């Protein structure tokens, strides 16, 4: 009998050890320090787009500031004609291969005549820090917004985020400290709850149940970044947003399930619109139907940013 108890104990300890090891590997993958698990899909190899080449030719000003020993980096593109309107475009995680930020920057700069600011979130070169899926980035975004208001002629601000950037702008807009100059928020391809999103990625990309391993990764993240993955609810933050919000999502998004946009939309009080783009995958909402996309943006944004 005693021998069987020892055997059972060894099996239990072995299983626990495997779960902890897998959670450790997952955590390193999630924060971008390794690719040892397939939880995050392999990045798509994207060719340089015409919009990306256009952006590289612009007179972009790089802005840096350092706090707590970490340097944050942003790129500022002033409007051709002096403008009090600035759109802050927050790109997706580079591992998901979305290049949607570039056509957005060009649209807002060329067609609407706005200043454009692009923050480089933590963990993305050349900014320092660790990937945090918008939770810590939301505070950096508010700091950048205050800097723009103080250092430029900005009086009206629009947040527009893509993917993880979409979650970031919603997280920031739900804070009580968001500046009053922020008039509109647009999020596309945003996740609703971080732990739910990770579980959906695991279900698609892994061949085994990963719930316990993700729980271990969450504990490790609490030790590293002081938050559990279950703490990050974009849905909860969205329920506190008081400015108009537009939610955009591709119906064929295989990275962030389209069901999440409905959760976010339902949570938002007040003025809001939902724009599901039929047949669009992750980061493809603009390219699927550019004419309609631009029309929807104009109709939603301009009344709020052009008001006195």
Phi, psi of 157 (to 5 degrees): -120, 140
CATH of the domain at 189: 3.40.50.1820
On average, the pLDDT of the chain sits at 91
234-246 pLDDT tens trace: 999 999 999 999 9
Residues 54, 95, single domain; the answer is: yes
Domain of 30 in residue numbering reads as 1-37+194-230
Residue 296 has pLDDT above 90, yes or no: yes
pLDDT of residue 307: 65
Residues 110, 83, single domain; the answer is: yes
Residue 42 counted as domain residue:
no
Distances (CA, A) of 184 to 16, 157, 246: 47, 7, 8
Residues 3, 66, single domain; the answer is: no
Residues 29, 155, single domain; the answer is: no
Residues 126, 249, single domain; the answer is: yes
Q: pTM for the complete prediction?
A: 0.94
Residues 74, 171, single domain; the answer is: yes
- Which of 41-45, 146-150, 213-217, 253-257 is the least confident region? 41-45
Residues 79, 199, single domain; the answer is: no
Question: 214, 230, 246 — which closes off a domain?
Answer: 230
Residue 183 counted as domain residue:
yes
Residue 306 has pLDDT above 80, yes or no: no
Q: In what order do the strands lie in the sheet with 272-277?
A: 61-67, 70-77, 115-120, 85-90, 156-162, 182-188, 245-250, 272-277
d(CA 226, CA 128): 17
Distance of CA 159 to the CA centre of its chain: 12
Question: 230, 246, 280 — which closes off a domain?
Answer: 230
Residue 17 has pLDDT above 80, yes or no: no
Residue 100 counted as domain residue:
yes
Residues 76, 184, single domain; the answer is: yes
Residues 32, 80, single domain; the answer is: no
Residue 44 counted as domain residue:
no
pLDDT of residue 48: 82
- Which of 28-37, 111-120, 160-169 is the least confident region? 28-37
Residues 95, 57, single domain; the answer is: yes
pLDDT of residue 270: 96
163-195 pLDDT tens trace: 999 999 999 999 999 999 999 999 999 999 999
């Amino acid at each position: 009998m005693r021998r069987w108890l020892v055997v059972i104990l060894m099996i239990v300890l072995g299983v626990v050890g495997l779960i902890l090891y897998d959670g450790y590997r997952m955590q390193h993958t999630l924060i971008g320090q390794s690719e040892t698990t397939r939880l995050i899909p392999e990045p798509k190899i994207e060719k340089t787009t015409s919009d990306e080449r256009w952006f590289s030719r612009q007179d972009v000003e790089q802005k840096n500031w350092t706090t707590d020993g970490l340097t944050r980096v942003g790129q500022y593109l002033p409007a051709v004609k002096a403008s009090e309107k600035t759109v802050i475009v927050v790109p997706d995680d580079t591992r998901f291969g979305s290049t949607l930020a570039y056509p957005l920057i060009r649209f807002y700069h060329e067609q609407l005549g706005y200043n454009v600011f692009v923050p480089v979130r933590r963990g993305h070169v050349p900014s320092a820090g660790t990937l945090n899926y918008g939770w810590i980035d939301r505070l950096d975004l508010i700091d950048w917004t205050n800097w723009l208001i103080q250092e430029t002629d900005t009086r009206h601000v629009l947040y527009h985020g893509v993917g993880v950037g979409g979650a970031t702008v919603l997280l920031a807009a739900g804070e009580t400290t968001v500046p009053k100059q922020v008039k509109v928020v647009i999020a596309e391809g945003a996740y609703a709850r971080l732990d739910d999103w990770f579980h959906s990625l695991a279900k698609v990309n892994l061949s085994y149940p990963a719930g316990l391993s993700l729980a271990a990764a969450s504990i490790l993240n609490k030790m590293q970044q002081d938050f559990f993955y279950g703490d990050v609810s974009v849905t909860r933050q969205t329920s506190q947003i008081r400015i108009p919000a537009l939610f955009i999502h591709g119906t064929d998004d295989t990275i962030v399930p389209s069901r999440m946009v409905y959760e976010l939309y339902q949570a938002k009080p007040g003025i809001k619109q939902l724009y599901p783009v039929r047949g669009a995958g992750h980061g493809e909402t603009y390219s699927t139907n550019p004419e309609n996309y631009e029309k929807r943006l104009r109709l939603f944004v301009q009344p709020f940013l052009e008001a006195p």
